[in-house]
Amino acid sequence: MASASSAMDTNGRRGIPAAAFVEDVQTYLTQLGLDVSSTLNFLQERLQQYKMVEMKLIAQQRELQAKIPDIEKCLAVVATLQEKKGSDEPILADFEVSEGIYSRARIEDTDSVCLWLGANVMLEYSCEEAVTLLKNNLDNAKGSLEVLIADLQFLRDQVTITQVTIARVYNWDVHQRRLRQVSGSKE
């Protein structure tokens, strides 16, 4: 007897197994040697797995969508510092010290900036290095977002295919039961 998992998986995308569209339920079940109940159970489990992966991908998408504007703001700040470099005009800036608590700073001519890298790590970079790092981070974040959106679309297609397959298997089973009832009542 074939395993439902191996028979239903076709090539996937980044670890997400592809759902096989079942055109002929009778042939499908016969080839696999599976009954309707085990097939429906597997398909329901697969559907739940898809839904869990979808929730994770949506959370990652939200994180990236929040991260991109932050990186763009940092790039704009560094660009402003570079523009003002060499002029005697100081920059007045409000910055967040803690959540909801701001302080005003007077920034004199500077050649470097400090960037948060995460995990409570901050490093000082020259403005040119900071721009390079931030642009690289922005490109990576945008590229990751594009891949994530493609993964979500692929996943949604698999959910649809699985839902259609569940409906087809269920409807085929109902039809087979009715045929058995009709043939049983004629005898």
The percent of residues above 70 in pLDDT, for the chain, comes to 93
Instruction: Supply angle C-alpha 166, 20, 165, rounded to 5.
Output: 15
According to the model, what pLDDT value does residue 11 have?
Answer: 63
36-40, 137-141, 182-186: the lowest-pLDDT one:
182-186
Domain spans, the chain: 25-174
According to the model, what pLDDT value does residue 10 have?
Answer: 52
CA 63 to chain centre: 10
Distance CA 79, CA 85 (A): 10
Residue 48 has pLDDT above 60, yes or no: yes
CB atoms within 10 A of CB 169: 20
Distance CA 9, CA 128 (A): 49
The length of the chain is: 187
Whether the Cβ atoms of residue 169 and residue 40 lie closer than 8 Å to each other: yes
Chain segment 50-69, per-residue pLDDT in tens: 999 999 999 999 999 999 99
- Here the tokens at position 126 are 């020259």
Query: What DSSP state is assigned to residue 3?
Result: -
Q: Which fold has domain 25-174?
A: Helix Hairpins (1.10.287)
Distance CA 117, CA 144 (A): 18
